[in-house]
Amino acid sequence: MNNTNDLYNRWLAQPDLDDAVKAELVSIAGDGDAVTDRFYRDLEFGTGGLRGVIGAGTNRMNLYTVRKATQGLADYLNASGLPKKVAIAHDSRHNGALFARETARVLAANGITACMYPRLEPTPALSWAVRYLGCGAGVCVTASHNPAKYNGYKVYGADGCQITLEAAEKILAAIEKIDCFDDVRLADFDAAAAAGRIVTIDEKCLDDFVQAVYDQRVGDGAGIDALKLVYTPLNGTGLECVKKLLKKLGVTHVTVVPEQEKPDGDFPTCPYPNPEIREAMQKGLELCDKVRPDLLLGTDPDCDRCGTAVPDGKGGYRLITGNEMGIILLDYICRTRLAQGTMPADPVAVTTIVSTDMAAPVAKKYGVELRRTLTGFKFIGEQIGKLEAEGRPERYIFGFEESYGYLSGGHVRDKDAVNATLLVCEAAAWYAQQGKTLLQMCQPSRPREGPQTLLAVLQAALTIPHQAFPGLKQTLPPLLPLLPRPFQTAGGRTQAQAALATLEPVFLPLQPSLACALQRQGELVQALPVFAPQGPEQLGRVGRGSRTNVGRHVGQGHVHFMADTGQHRDL
C-alpha cells in the first residue's frame, strides 16, 4: 500500500488506536502535505537504529513504529544463536519511558527476556548492561542531543557496540516483512513481569558501572578534592551517575545548574541540547561567572558526550573543543601511565579520520600506536573488541572523536561522558599540581581549527568530476571567500573558483583529517565528496548521520565518499 492517503485512512481506522496518535491524525485531516510527510516512507533503520520526529505515521517515532522495529529485532534474535535477552534504557525525551515499555512488551511476547532500567539512565550504562547481563542485544531509547521534537531507538549488539552494518541489514530485512498492526506480538506488561519475562535491572548493575568507570583512574588523585565544579546534565540522564562518580573521586565542591538539573524532554533552556555548542552551555557559563569554578562540565541528554569550559585568564570562561580535549586527555593518559609504570606493552589509542591530526605526533611521542577509524564511536568500540579477541585488551588506552566523545577503558563500547568526567577532573587536578591550566595545555591545537577546516570542504569537494555532483556549483560559493590566500591563482581567482567556472576537477593536497569539513560545515554544505587518503580500507560511512555512496576515481587511485549529510548526527 503506497498511497499516503490510503495509509492515513488505514491508521485512522484502527480500533483502539493510541489517543495521541489518533488526535494528531484527526488534526491533519484534509491537509495533503501533512499527510504525505507522515506517510510517504517508513523511518529508516540503520546502524544507528531509528531516529525521527515524534508523531503519527510511518515516518514518525511512535509506539507503532517502535513496536514494528522491536518485532524485527525479536525475529532476528530468535533466528540467531545469540542470548534471548535484551537490555533496555531510555533518556529524558518525550515518550522515552513509553517506548521502552512497548519494546519490553514485544520482546516478552516473542520469548525474549526484557531487562529494563527502572528509571532513565545514560547510554553508556546501557552498553555496560548488555555485557554485564549477558544479553544478545540492547535498546536505548534516545535521540542524543537533537531538538526536543525528536526521539530515537538505538540498537546495540551483544558486544555492547552499536550494531554492525551486517546486523542492521538483517534486522531491517526482518522489519520490512512486518505490518505494524497485524504482525506484532504484544504481551501484557504486568503479566509478563509477573512471569519473569520482563525484569528490572537491579541497582548493583548501575553501581558496578560507576565503579568500572572509577576503576579507569589514571593518576593518584592528588589535588582532585580541591577542584571546584559547575555541572549541567542539560536536563538529561547524567546527574545520577556523574554525582556518584564525583563522590567516589572526592570532588565535593559541585554546583549543578538549577535550570538544567532535572530531566525535561522539552529542554527549555536551549533548543539544541548539545554541549558542543555555546547556547547549550550558556546557563552553565552564566553560573560560572558567579561561582568561579575551576571547571564547567556539561553532558548531553543521554550522557555520552561531555563539554568543558575553563577560566580564560581574563575573567571569563572559554569552551574547549572536542579535538582540544581529546589531545589533552591523550597526552595526560600517556605521560601519567608512563610515569607510574602502568603503560601496557604496545599501547593503542584510537581516533577517527575526522579528528585532529594532532593525535599523531602526541601518540608518536609516547610510543603509542594510533589507529584511525571511520566516523562513529562504534568503530572505536570495534577496535577494542578486536584487541580483546586477540587476548590483549589491555593494549587499548584511549579513544576519542572530535564530536566530544571519549573513552579510556573497555568497560563499555561506546563513548562515555561519565568516564570523560573522570578523565577531565583528573587531568585538571594534575596540571594544577604542575602550576598549569587546561587552557594552557590546549593552546597548541588551536591552529588546527578555523580556516583550515573550511579549506578542507573546498579541497575535498574538488576531488571529484563535477558532472557526478551537479549541485556543487551552487553549494560552494558561500565558502569561497574563506579560502586562504595561498590557494589563489595568478589570475586573481582561487583554484576553487576556477574549477567551478570550468566545471573541471582540481586536485589539491589533502590530509587525513580533512573529512572533518563535513562535521563543521554540514549545515551549509549539504553534500560533498570527501577524499580518503588512507586507501580502500577506509571505504564506508563518513558524515555523522549520513548515508554514503562510495566511488573510486578509476586509474587515479583516489578514493572518495559522497556523503549526504542531514540534520541528524550520529548518536
Please report the pLDDT score of residue 557 as a whole number.
27
Q: Determine the average pLDDT of the residues in 236-254.
A: 98
Model confidence pLDDT, tens digit, residues 160-200: 999 999 999 999 999 999 999 999 999 999 999 999 999 99
Instruction: Assess whether pLDDT exceeds 70 at residue 485.
Output: no
Quote the cell numbers at residue 489: 591563482
Report residue 538's pLDDT band, with 50, 70 and 90 as the boundaries: very low
Mean pLDDT value across the chain? 82
Instruction: Assess whether pLDDT exceeds 50 at residue 16.
Output: yes
Instruction: Assess whether pLDDT exceeds 60 at residue 520.
Output: no
Give the residue with greater pLDDT, 362 vs 553. 362
Q: Determine the average pLDDT of the residues in 217-223.
A: 95
Using an 8 Å Cβ cutoff, are 210 and 244 in contact?
A: yes
Give the number of other Cβ atoms within 10 Å of residue 40's Cβ: 13
Model confidence pLDDT, tens digit, residues 35-45: 999 999 999 99
Which H or E element spans position 419?
helix 417-433
Cα 467 from chain centroid?
Answer: 33
Phi, psi of 44 (to 5 degrees): -75, 140
Please report the pLDDT score of residue 459 as a whole number.
43
Residue 7 neighbours by CB under 8 Å, 6+ apart: 1, 39, 57, 58
CA dihedral of residues 140, 143, 145, 147 (deg, nearest 10): -150
Please report the pLDDT score of residue 47 as a whole number.
87
Cα 239 from chain centroid?
Answer: 19
Please report the pLDDT score of residue 2 as a whole number.
56
**pLDDT more than 70, % of the chain:** 77
Residue 165 neighbours by CB under 8 Å, 6+ apart: 46, 47
Residue 12 neighbours by CB under 8 Å, 6+ apart: 22, 25, 26
CA dihedral of residues 306, 545, 176, 102 (deg, nearest 10): 20
SS (H, E, C) 386-411: HHHHCCCHHHEEEEEECCCEEECCCC
**Which candidate in 92, 127, 144, 445 is catalytic?**
144
Give the residue with greater pLDDT, 93 vs 543. 93
**pLDDT more than 90, % of the chain:** 75
Model confidence pLDDT, tens digit, residues 379-400: 999 999 999 999 999 999 999 9
Using an 8 Å Cβ cutoff, are 358 and 290 in contact?
A: no
Quote the cell numbers at residue 133: 547481563
Do strands 306-311 and 317-320 pair parallel, antiparallel, or not at all (unpaired)? antiparallel
CA dihedral of residues 543, 326, 280, 522 (deg, nearest 10): -20
What residues pair up with 399 in beta bridges, in sequence order?
A: 350, 407
Instruction: Assess whether pLDDT exceeds 80 at residue 117.
Output: yes
Residue 144 designated active-site: yes
For 536, counting Cβ atoms within 10 Å of its Cβ (0-12 exposed, 13-18 middle, 19+ buried), the class is: exposed
Please report the pLDDT score of residue 481 as a whole number.
45
Cα 65 from chain centroid?
Answer: 22
Q: Determine the average pLDDT of the residues in 454-463.
A: 42
Model confidence pLDDT, tens digit, residues 121-147: 999 999 999 999 999 999 999 999 999
Model confidence pLDDT, tens digit, residues 399-411: 999 999 999 999 9
Instruction: Assess whether pLDDT exceeds 90 at residue 295.
Output: yes
Judged by average pLDDT, the poorest of 142-156, 280-294, 466-480 is: 466-480
Using an 8 Å Cβ cutoff, are 350 and 373 in contact?
A: yes
Please report the pLDDT score of residue 443 as a whole number.
62
Please report the pLDDT score of residue 433 as a whole number.
94
User: What's the whole-model pTM score?
Assistant: 0.80
Please report the pLDDT score of residue 203 as a whole number.
98
CA distance 60 to 40: 11
